Structure 1
Amino acid sequence: MKPLAIFGGTFDPVHIGHLNAAWEAAEMLDAEVRMMPASVPPHRTAPTASAAQRADMLRAALRGQSRLIPDTRELDRAGPSYTIDTLHELRDEIGKRPLILLLGADAFAGLPGWHRWRELFDVAHIAVLQRPGVSAEFPDELEKAMAKRHLRDLAGLRKTSAGHVVQLQITPLEISATRIRELLKDGRDARYLLPVGLFDDASLLAPYRHD
């Protein structure tokens, strides 16, 4: 079965770096990727744009293709967005279909601080997105947890529904949502850092402008 992969984030705003990482992962894994904006991220300050505004931006960014799909379920959930709750919900929906959580190397390194983090391996595979030629270092606790779970063959993810860790080398795009918000606040349009679809409707980027 074609795997289902999840790529989460605040997407405040969604930018080319997000889309490139998700697209390359989708191609390497031959997976459907759902891009899932978080409602109230437990480890970050509240987003500048509202939940509805971020959902509208994501839908606009993903128009015209079918491999990356918006999934706004976490925006409809009250309270903090815990990844483990979302993965359990998806597992109930998709049965034994392989489920893959896509995480940047920095986010993966911080996994021991996540809510019920060890349980993640029971529900999904994890694909760690890394820059080519860069070797990431992970905490000892995490290294021990992934020691027997690491796979080099991506095809192996299709043989089981959860429990393995793979590393994906993706094209590094140093794009910062914080910098984009600063540019927009200063009246600049951040063109070529944002998806073209976000410029089709001036209201989409209004949360970041201070005219």
Structure 2
Amino acid sequence: MIAIFGGTFDPIHLGHINMAEQCVQQCSLDTLYFMPCAIPAHKAKPGISDEHRINMLKLAIENNPHFAIDYRELNREGASYSLLSLQELRAENPSTPIMFLIGMDSFNNLDKWFKWQEIVKLCHIVVYQRPGQSCQVMGELADYKTHAETGDLHQLAHNPAGKLFFLNGLQVDAASSKIRKKILLDDDMTELLPHSVGQYIAQHHLYQTDE
């Protein structure tokens, strides 16, 4: 099974790490690939360089043998549409199950993603819930949830795509936007970041302006 975790990781924090660890453990994965995007289709472009984001990501995952990085979106020109990456992955792995890990906030807005109906045919959607979040979907997305949701992990392993699975487990209340604001206001955010990432941010004076 191929597992992908996409995002800006601006910066990567303990919520991301927890989400990835829970996915690896519950789904018995050998490897989970963090896939940083270059120009997000649904968010503002990161205010720091790709190099800084990648360096922090490397520091955050260096001690976990189950974590790796997929650079394809950084190597592609234009907006980082998940559809394009999943199409590439499917072409490279025609029959292998592909798992796409997202947060509940992303799932609630999945129907606003570029050609989302094609995305869910290329992979399994695995959703992780942060504190205070709930599933709130309507219309076509609600119909998809009704037909695709399963609580059986074997369904993901024995089908190449098309299933929806909700992960349960330890939740860490952290968000990159809140962390950036804390750094800007010179508030302590060490409890939300891997130690090495906090050191890197301080060393390179990142997120100290609101640009």
TM-score (norm 1): 0.89
1:162-192: per-residue Cα shift (whole Å, max 9, x none)?
1111111132211121222123224455212
1:14-33: per-residue Cα shift (whole Å, max 9, x none)?
00001101110111111221
Query: How far apart are 1:155 and its partner, in Å?
Result: 1.5
1:107-151: per-residue Cα shift (whole Å, max 9, x none)?
111111110110012210111112589752211211112322221
User: Does the Cα contact within 8 Å between 1:57 and 1:204 map onto a contact in 2?
Assistant: no
Q: Tell me, yes or no, if structure 1 residue 27 matches structure 2 residue 30.
A: no
**1:71 corresponds to which residue?**
70
Rounded to whole Å, the distance in 2 between the matches of 1:93 and 1:175 is 34
TM-score (norm 2): 0.89
Moved over 4 A (4+): 131-135, 199-205
**1:42 corresponds to which residue?**
41
**1:124 corresponds to which residue?**
123
Query: How far apart are 1:203 and its partner, in Å?
Result: 6.8
User: Does the Cα contact within 8 Å between 2:127 and 2:166 map onto a contact in 1?
Assistant: yes
User: Does the Cα contact within 8 Å between 1:62 and 1:70 map onto a contact in 2?
Assistant: no
**2:176 corresponds to which residue?**
177
Higher deviation after alignment, 63-72 or 130-139? 130-139
1:1-211 aligned at under 5 Å gives the runs 3-31=1-29, 32-130=31-129, 135-188=134-187, 190-199=189-198, 201=200, 205-209=204-208
Query: How far apart are 1:72 and its partner, in Å?
Result: 2.0
In structure 1, the gaps of 5 or more residues are none
- How many percent of aligned residue pairs carry the same amino acid? 33
Higher deviation after alignment, 75-84 or 138-147? 138-147
Closer/same/farther in 2, CA of residues 205 and 182 from structure 1, 3 Å limit: farther
Query: How far apart are 1:45 and its partner, in Å?
Result: 1.1
Rounded to whole Å, the distance in 1 between the matches of 2:167 and 2:145 is 15
Query: How far apart are 1:199 and its partner, in Å?
Result: 4.3
1:16-61: per-residue Cα shift (whole Å, max 9, x none)?
0011011101111112211111111111112121112111110111
Rounded to whole Å, the distance in 2 between the matches of 1:182 and 1:69 is 28
User: Does the Cα contact within 8 Å between 1:55 and 1:72 map onto a contact in 2?
Assistant: no
Closer/same/farther in 2, CA of residues 10 and 89 from structure 1, 3 Å limit: same
User: Does the Cα contact within 8 Å between 1:6 and 1:100 map onto a contact in 2?
Assistant: yes
Rounded to whole Å, the distance in 1 between the matches of 2:76 and 2:130 is 33
Q: Match of 1:37, as an amino acid?
A: P
Rounded to whole Å, the distance in 1 between the matches of 2:57 and 2:205 is 14
Give the SS at the match of 1:192.
helix
User: Does the Cα contact within 8 Å between 1:131 and 1:169 map onto a contact in 2?
Assistant: no
User: Does the Cα contact within 8 Å between 2:100 and 2:124 map onto a contact in 1?
Assistant: yes
RMSD value, Cα: 2.1
Rounded to whole Å, the distance in 2 between the matches of 1:28 and 1:204 is 35
Closer/same/farther in 2, CA of residues 115 and 194 from structure 1, 3 Å limit: same
Rounded to whole Å, the distance in 2 between the matches of 1:131 and 1:174 is 6
User: Does the Cα contact within 8 Å between 1:131 and 1:171 map onto a contact in 2?
Assistant: no
Higher deviation after alignment, 53-62 or 129-138? 129-138
In structure 2, the gaps of 5 or more residues are none
Q: Match of 1:161, as an amino acid?
A: P
Rounded to whole Å, the distance in 2 between the matches of 1:149 and 1:49 is 37
